[in-house]
Amino acid sequence: MQTEGGVLLLRAAMPWRLSSQLDVLSPSSCQRHCERTAFAFYCAVRERLPVWLLEDMRTMEVFCWDDGHPRAFLPSEALLYTLVHDHQDYARHLLSRYSVSALGAPRCSFCCRVGSSAQHLNMAVRYNRLVILDMILETLKDCSADERLQYLDSCGGCTHVADAGKTAVQLAVELSQDNCLLLLLAQGARPEGLDVALQRLDSCDASERQQAHRCLDLLLLFLSNPSPPRCLQDEPQRWQSLLGNEVFTWLCGLAPPPLLFQALRCLVQSGLDPISSLPNFLQLHSWQ
């Protein structure tokens, strides 16, 4: 009944117009109408209304104001709303029906330029939407290997956006989203952000220490030959206490990788399941 009531309220509140009717409106009135319908669509996704209704709205009743003209919402724009509000059913429908086209770069609402193709990945990481992120990564398997890696390693676009210039991996490290980071790295995303991971481990609260340490361990697990970070040389005693002697001497280039890291690197080539099924004493401390 709650869903039915929400549908009726939404239908009653919206001044629906056909696209042909928008042609007779003045530009300012047309733009305001587009903004109202777009906001109504946003609210409908937030309320997690049924998929059939959302698609009906998106394709026939909701308009986006784009470069002086109204147009229908794109699947890629609707997918952003599903990430914000964690509407998993709608995200599953968009990705299964439109495949990689649902991951296209949407226009930025501020500068009207085409955004970055990494926007969906970055938003999934920022909101920690693990289920939808896994769906996106599964959809990317429809691309070629080069296209998939290019998408995974692309950076946020517009300079006024908080995630500008950051890959999804870098953002996951910065936010200590360890589960998102694991999904990205397992699909072949470039392991980067070691300095940020170390800074995060040094500055985070005790409540976030385990996630930050796990992000560092994940990067080290997928990095074949990490360069010695400068910060370790500046304060060796402090970092030796934080990282442990084996990892510290390895990162400083004074010793080979710990045996546990070498063993887990071999296992991770076969997927994540072999690692997760190991007993605690054979896993990295931060993973337990």
Domain definitions of the chain by residue range = 30-73, 74-223, 225-272
| Residue 43 Cα to chain centre, angstroms | 21
Q: Averaged over 206-229, what is the pLDDT?
A: 89
Q: Cβ(91)–Cβ(82) under 8 Å?
A: yes
- 74-223 maps to which CATH number? 1.25.40.20
Which amino acid, one-letter code, is at 269? Q
Residues 184-196 have pLDDT tens digits of 998 999 999 999 9
Angstrom distance (rounded) from CA 172 to CA 192: 10
Q: Cβ(134)–Cβ(82) under 8 Å?
A: no
So what's the pLDDT on residue 230? 87
Burial class (CB in 10 A: 0-12, 13-18, 19+), 234: exposed
Which contiguous run of DSSP H or E holds residue 27?
helix 27-46
For 24, residues 6+ apart whose C-beta sits below 8 A from its C-beta are none
Residues 66-117 have pLDDT tens digits of 777 788 889 999 999 999 999 999 999 999 999 999 998 876 654 555 556 6
Angstrom distance (rounded) from CA 55 to CA 190: 35
Does the pLDDT of residue 247 top 80, yes or no? Answer: yes
Q: Averaged over 225-236, what is the pLDDT?
A: 87
Burial class (CB in 10 A: 0-12, 13-18, 19+), 41: buried
- Per the prediction, the chain carries an average pLDDT of 83
Q: What is the pTM of this model?
A: 0.84
Q: Quote the tokens at residue 121.
A: 């990945």
Burial class (CB in 10 A: 0-12, 13-18, 19+), 161: middle
Look at residues 77, 156, 153, 147 and name the one whose alpha carbon lies nearest to residue 122.
156
